[in-house]
Amino acid sequence: MARPRGTDGSLLASLPWTLGALGLSVAPHVPYLPAWITFAFFGCAVWRYMIEKRRRPLPSAWFRAALALACFLGVLITYSSISGVGPGSALLAVMASLKLLETRKRRDQFVLLFISIFLVMSSLLREQYLWSLPYMLGAVTVIMTAWLRMSASPIESAKQSFAIGGRLLLYAAPLALAMWIFFPRLATPFWAVPIDSSRATTGLSDTMSPGDISSLSLSNEVAFRVSFDNQIPDGPDRYWRGLVLTTFNGRSWTGREPAISTTARDQIVTEGDPISYEITLEPTRQQWVFALDMPVMWSLSKTFMGPQQQLARSAPIDQRVAYKAISHPEYRVEADLPEVYRNWYSNLPADSNQRSATLAREMRAAATSDQAFINAVLRKFNEEEYYYTLEPPPLGSNPVDRFLFDTRSGFCEHYASAFAVMMRSVGIPSRVVLGYQGGEINPLGGHLIVRQSDAHAWTEVWLEGVGWQRVDPTAAVAPERIDYGASGAALEGLGDAWGLSAPSELLHRLSLSIDALNAKWNEWILGYGPENQQNFMKWLGMDDPNWRKMMLTLIGVVVSLVMLISVLLMLRYRPPARDEASILYQRFIKKTGLEPIAGETAIEFGRRAKEADALPDDVIALITEAYVDARYGPYREPAFERLKVAVGSIT
């Protein structure tokens, strides 16, 4: 058997660039990849570099095959699937790492850089943030540079390659823009990216067990943004209805799966002025659709109203969606509720939270009416020693009892749950609504930002003749939570805890600016879907835009852009003037510090410069060769370019 030959070190100069480009394209995947793949990538990268540096042989084909099989199985075991964005990108990343181990020639490096391009683009299948575009541009520029480094002459500096790579991308930019504008967006795409079901959902969960949560982490992530057509409602009116929980088992509240109700919308009797607005909802991977309490119209397709006036879409919200809606802050719902339903909404498990039930019955007996009873309970929360905290103690098996009588501290879910249980104990129909409350106005974008930290739970009770009525017991305990919103309240608390004042105004402004930018980005760039494209095409004067017309326009635009760019480049192109090469050469002569002699040819001078060790031999050889060729050879331009690069590298 032939002895494995070591690498010849010819890739040593360009390999770090290739590794860097590959690293940049793997980086956006790292938060989603299992740790072992990231380690595998780093391991392979370092290993490959050391092989090249020490001129060691590459691992044998058998070893590589075994490793590839192991990694394939590893991905299969980690994801129990090989299709979808997650397993797909994991497989791509790990195979790119292994490809490093058989990268022997330039051709293999090309393959690696192709994979880099693919990897960096595939990260867009997951998320498209504001920073994705600059990151993508940077990464692709580095990949281009790595590409150029492979064929760069030894004295071409990285800066020069980088500049060439950037320039090439600049030429491509108008084409990319044209593609983006004209490539037909289809309302029903030919293909869809499979979304990982394993991915944790953000947003609200559809059960509520306040006793089990000992600490609520505040996420600053944006849940949705709202832009109002007219004025923005006041803080205390901003209740964003989500899902409704109707069943309590003694510990936790649960709701029903999203289901359509044909009568729910008709049960709403509106009063007062409507509010019109547009919501841009971040993907939740759930079906719930949020709207200002109480929505009556909404523009999101396939979205229906459930029996408790909750909105849901028939398919999970996997991508950012924007929809218009109209709500009435003043409304009545189901003024007459049949006996059966009243019992349903008053149902409690028989032998749990007995102390609370007893307390409720006592208080109801003392009150003159249901409304008076409600007020009495709210007053109890307000006047007695109840605290609003995000870090409540665990509550055990009878959470409501323990909360009401012992711990007396909790957040919205605790109060909503306790309140609803007390209402149900005396036969008043009640339910818990989950959604968001409040939101921060971004003065720069003029829109309202609702964050995950604005998530809220409140109750609705049904009263004879009034219908379902919103009661927020948290407001009785911590009115500032409702007035200023959770973020403000929490930030102040945070500042106290750390012994700091509230975060500086500047930082806050900065985050607001970024948010405004993000909102515009979502609206104009990511929101450029079928509908916006149609409108834009119409605005451009295309009547009845369809994909055929757009495709033809795209081809036309691309062809004319290519021609335009070519013509511009041709016009800009100026063959080097006769003396330009000698001007460059004079700089080289100056750099050598030698006096030129009359009648001495460039080749003779080069020989003399080499003997004098004025500059590295290869630099002298390259410059001399390029100069003589540029000055006296038949193909002056390429030689002149070589000369320019070579002289540029020494000055």
Q: Which C-beta is closer to other proteins: that of 15 or that of 639?
A: 639
Size of the residue set binding other proteins (CB under 8 A): 17
Note whether 580 binds other proteins by CB under 8 A: no
| Binding-site member from 496, 600, 637, 641 for other proteins (CB under 8 A) | 600
* Catalytic (active site) residue 29: no
In the chain, % helix, strand, coil (3-state, to 5) comes to 55, 15, 35
- Using a CB cutoff of 8 Å and minimum separation of 24, what contacts does 195-202 make? 195/84, 195/85, 195/285, 195/316, 195/318, 196/84, 196/85, 196/86, 198/79, 198/86, 199/86, 199/285, 201/284, 201/285, 201/286, 202/282, 202/284, 202/285, 202/452
Per CB under 8 A, contacts with other proteins among 203-262 are: none
* Catalytic (active site) residue 71: no
Helix then strand count (H, E) for the chain reads: 21, 20
> How far are the Cα atoms of 543, 622, 632, 637, 641 from residue 585, in angstroms, in the given order?
60, 12, 13, 15, 13
Q: Among 150-158, 371-379, 557-565, 625-633, which window interacts with other proteins (CB under 8 A)?
A: 625-633
Note whether 643 binds other proteins by CB under 8 A: no
| Binding-site member from 217, 598, 611, 651 for other proteins (CB under 8 A) | 598
* Catalytic (active site) residue 44: no
Note whether 574 binds other proteins by CB under 8 A: no
**CB–CB of 211/460 below 8 Å?**
no
Provide the minimum distance between the beta carbon of 639 and other proteins in the complex, in angstroms, as a whole number.
8
Note whether 631 binds other proteins by CB under 8 A: yes
**Nearest CA among 458, 463, 504 for reference residue 478:** 458
Note whether 575 binds other proteins by CB under 8 A: no
Q: Which C-beta is closer to other proteins: that of 451 or that of 631?
A: 631
Q: Which C-beta is closer to other proteins: that of 447 or that of 636?
A: 636
Helix/strand/coil (H/E/C) assignment for every residue in 182-242:
HCCCCCCCCCCCCCCCCCCCCCCCCEECHHHCCCCCCCCCEEEEEEECCCCCCHHHCEEEE
Distance (Å, rounded) from C-alpha 588 to C-alpha 583?
9
Which one is catalytic: 44, 456, 515, 629?
456
Distance (Å, rounded) from C-alpha 541 to C-alpha 120?
36
Provide the minimum distance between the beta carbon of 604 and other proteins in the complex, in angstroms, as a whole number.
7
Note whether 634 binds other proteins by CB under 8 A: yes
Handedness of CA 125, 128, 133, 138 (dihedral sign): negative
Note whether 602 binds other proteins by CB under 8 A: yes
Which one is catalytic: 206, 370, 401, 472?
472
Q: Which C-beta is closer to other proteins: that of 574 or that of 578?
A: 578
| Binding-site member from 464, 604, 637, 641 for other proteins (CB under 8 A) | 604
> How far are the Cα atoms of 80, 332, 644 from residue 416, in angstroms, in the given order?
40, 21, 75
Which one is catalytic: 412, 447, 454, 515?
412
| Binding-site member from 136, 213, 628, 647 for other proteins (CB under 8 A) | 628
Provide the minimum distance between the beta carbon of 621 and other proteins in the complex, in angstroms, as a whole number.
15
Note whether 629 binds other proteins by CB under 8 A: yes
Q: Among 41-49, 301-309, 551-559, 598-606, which window interacts with other proteins (CB under 8 A)?
A: 598-606
Give the H/E segment covering residue 581: helix 580-592
Q: Among 32-40, 337-345, 391-399, 597-605, which window interacts with other proteins (CB under 8 A)?
A: 597-605
Distance (Å, rounded) from C-alpha 485 to C-alpha 500?
20
Q: Please give the positions annotated as active site.
A: 412, 456, 472
Per CB under 8 A, residues contacting other proteins are 578, 582, 598-604, 628-629, 631-636
